[in-house]
Amino acid sequence: MLRIYKNVSGRILEQDELSNGCWVHLSAPDNGEIKSVCKQLSVPESFVRAALDEEERSRIDEEEGTLLIVVDTPTAEQDNNDFYYSTIPFGIIVTENAVLTVCAKETALPRQITDGTVKGVSTKKIRRFVLQLLFQNATLFLYYLRRTDKDVIRAEKELRRTMKNKELIRLLSLEKSLVYFSTGLKGDEAVLEKLLRMHFINAYPEDSELLEDVIVENRQAIEMCHIYRDILSGTMN
C-alpha cells in the first residue's frame, strides 16, 4: 500500500501526489508501487527491497546522495486473547526533497505520526522528521516492553492457580519476545551511534540534541528489556 503525507496548516494530511517536502510510506507494496515510487523519488530500488527483507539487519547505507536507515521496530499480533511480540525491519530512505519509509507489513510506528500523537512534526524538515520517527520507534519499544511485563505477571498468576502447560508455553513465548526486542534494540543502538558520528545532524544543533534524546530513550529500552529478561528467566527456573 502506498500513502503520501504532507504538512498542511500544521497538520499531517494524506495527499494524492508526490511533492517536495512530503513523506511517502510503503506498507507491503507490490512491484508496481515500488518501481513507481523509486522512479519518482530517484531512489535505488535495492534500498526498498532491502527494507522489505524480514531478515535484514539494522544498518545505514548511502548511494548517490540517498541515505538508507534500517532499524527494527516492534510488532504485536493477537491470537485469541494473547498478544505475541516480535520485531520487523523498518526502512527510512532520505532524499534531498522527501522521506520514504518502507515496511513489509503495517506497524504502529507510522500511525504514531499520522494520528497526531507526536506534536511539532513537519515533513518539510526532513532530517528532524527522521529523528522524530526514530524517537517514536524507541518509545514504542518501551510501550511494548511494559505490555510484555504485564502479560508475564498475568501468566504467572494463572500458573500459580492452575499449573497448566498453556501458561508455561505463554511464558516461553514472552521470553522469546524479549530476546527479539533485545536483539533489535542493540542493532538500533549501533545505527543511532553511527548517525551521531555522521554529517546527518551537524547543520542544526537542536537536531543533535534530539538525536541524543533518541539514544537515551533507546538505551532505557535496552536496560528495561534486560531487567524483564532476568526476572522472567528466574521465574522460568
CA distance 93 to 127: 11
Query: What pLDDT is stored for residue 24 in this prediction?
Result: 96
For the stretch 110-146, pLDDT in tens is: 998 988 778 888 899 898 999 999 999 999 999 999 9
For the stretch 41-64, pLDDT in tens is: 999 999 999 999 999 999 999 998
**Of residues 207 and 85, more confidently modeled:** 85
Question: Sign of torsion, CA 6 9 11 16?
Answer: negative
For the stretch 155-208, pLDDT in tens is: 888 777 776 677 788 888 899 999 999 999 999 999 999 998 887 766 667 788
For the stretch 12-27, pLDDT in tens is: 889 988 989 999 999 9
Helix 205-236 × helix 165-197 angle, to 10°: 160
CA distance 84 to 176: 9
Query: What pLDDT is stored for residue 202 in this prediction?
Result: 63
pTM comes to 0.91
- The size of the chain, in residues, is 237
